[in-house]
Chain A
């Protein structure tokens, strides 16, 4: 605020810079803002274009003949109930995003919720009792840093070989975890737990221990204290953490691509399916799918934006 007003020396060049700096700042910031917004704008614009405008030259900046057809196509019910009138050509594949939307929503929300609960309790134990040793809170981050492909290859063999063998041996039923909600959901829990623990640690560390101590002295049980004293104080933090890992799970691609299909498929995998069809790419419906996946997450993200830094600062930046 006061940094530009250097006291003492008043030089002509400085006065000029003082006046020009805000202009320069706005120019730079607007430039970057337009770079940031352009791809999103282009996607939304494409989602309202009809097939003739998708790849026309010169490209149309705005849809000249806005249509809802792309959205009506992707929201059309299952393959069998596909409305022929929505198809542009006879060869066009029938598709619908409903089942993927359901898969994504169920897997992302359930696994985020479970890992939030587990992670919060573990963060509490780490913060209050120092469970797992002094450096446990850092060591847990290693899991997050391992490239997912290194996890995916073992997991696919595990789900496809060891789990069926083991269940057949123990319960004499072949259970495959491949291509199921449980299989993918469990893995999402394992990969997001480090983030939950980290974010919740930074919230729980701020709850003064004296409060809990007072409750304990007055005769409250340990679980009662946790439920009535600690949880209400960190509830906002839990909401932020939940939304954050929900976004992570919602956009996860590699594990979903390798561990599901054909029965279960999440939204990113569905979008990829359209992309791989090189011939006759359906740009419009793809853009519509992209918009549908992106908009809710961006809104969630803008809501928790203020708190996001807590999850990323890794405790090294002072507020």
Chain B
């Protein structure tokens, strides 16, 4: 659009002056982006709602699908595997996010002041965030291999108690679940660390000094001064990480492929398997509609929290 305005031809100039009008110009990018969303996200979703009302599996052509009413929804809602996968996803997210928050907070607390080697540590701590999640899954699958480094490290202890040190970690449900959780913690603690670090560095020094002059102990300063000031950072970390953790898919595929049994089947993996392995298209469509409805409440609540924190910060800004 911007280039078109520079062309010298009279007709082009007409268009460009029309485009440069205030009311038109401000809406061009809006319409383009909204158009993209409408075409690429809203239309498919309407189609999905339609398909979820049909009885259709991929072994038949689409023309032969017939109307099925709400049957698919009934099947999804009464499918125990669906609910188990959903519950498992929330369990993984809860454990992983709380570990990430604790470790990230602790590390940020240690690293926010100036000291020798600070930049070096920060650089290293932020690396996992940039590693491709699929590679993380692969890396951890290598570490958990029965002749891998984890067993090598544990071998002296295990042999002490008379165990065979070559444990196949990923064939025990609980161990496999922890493997998925720990790989998530390994990768995303870097993000919570980053958020808390910027929160700590932004703490106003005057308030800390004032509290100290007034005779507050270090403990009191931490609980009464620092923690309330860090609340926005904590809210951001919780909201962003929970939203991302509920999408968990990559590591579950690469590390355990949902196994053993269905022990590490997250909701994303469950739906993927229903649609792409069992070809239950209309079931998948209904399940994704149900999932979106369930998640939209969470999403709006998360956004609401972010907006509220932002509003508070903006009010304080002239301080």
Do chains A and B interact in one complex?
A: yes
Binding site for B on A (CB under 8 A): 1, 3, 6-7, 22, 25-26, 28-29, 32-33, 35-40, 42-43, 46, 55-59, 61, 118-119, 121-122, 124-125, 128-129, 131-132, 135, 138-139, 141-143, 145-158, 161-162, 186-187, 189-190, 193, 197, 221-223, 226-227, 247, 250-251, 253-254, 257-258, 267-268, 271-272, 275-276, 283, 286-287, 290, 293-294, 297-298, 300-302, 305, 308-309, 312-319
Tell me if B134 and A251 are in contact (CB < 8 A).
yes
B114 contacts across to A, CB distance below 8 A: 1
Q: Mark B104-141, 1 if CB is under 8 A from A, else 0.
A: 00110011011101000111111111111111111111
Tell me if B152 and A58 are in contact (CB < 8 A).
yes
Binding site for A on B (CB under 8 A): 1-2, 5, 16, 20, 22, 25-30, 32-33, 36-37, 40-41, 43-45, 47-48, 51, 62, 103, 106-107, 110-111, 113-115, 117, 121-143, 145, 147-149, 152, 155, 166, 186, 190-191, 194-195, 197-199, 202, 208, 212, 218, 232-233, 235-236, 240, 243, 246-247, 249-250, 253-254, 257, 267-268, 271-272, 275-276, 281, 284-285, 287-288, 291-292, 295-296, 299-300, 302-303, 306-307, 309-310, 313, 317
Q: Most chain-B CB neighbours within 10 Å: which of A146, A153, A158, A290?
A: A153
Tell me if A258 and B276 are in contact (CB < 8 A).
yes
The distance in angstroms between the C-alpha atoms of A42 and B144, with both chains bound, is 12
Tell me the minimal C-beta distance from A118 to chain B in angstroms.
6
Give me 17 A-to-B residue pairs in the complex whose CB atoms sit less than 8 angstroms apart, sorted by A's number.
A3-B218, A39-B143, A39-B186, A56-B147, A121-B29, A148-B247, A151-B44, A154-B44, A154-B285, A157-B281, A162-B43, A227-B2, A268-B135, A275-B141, A287-B142, A302-B130, A309-B198
Tell me if A29 and B199 are in contact (CB < 8 A).
no
Contact of A57 among B166, B195, B291 (CB under 8 A): B166
The distance in angstroms between the C-alpha atoms of A315 and B309, with both chains bound, is 9
A153 contacts across to B, CB distance below 8 A: 48, 271, 275, 284-285, 287-288
Per DSSP, are chain B's interface residues mostly helix, strand or loop, or mixed? helix
The distance in angstroms between the C-alpha atoms of A161 and B243, with both chains bound, is 30
**Given known contacts A153-B284, A222-B20, A254-B268, what 6 new A-B pairs fall within 8 Å (CB)?**
A25-B110, A40-B127, A153-B275, A158-B44, A268-B132, A317-B202
The distance in angstroms between the C-alpha atoms of A138 and B139, with both chains bound, is 36
Per DSSP, are chain A's interface residues mostly helix, strand or loop, or mixed? helix
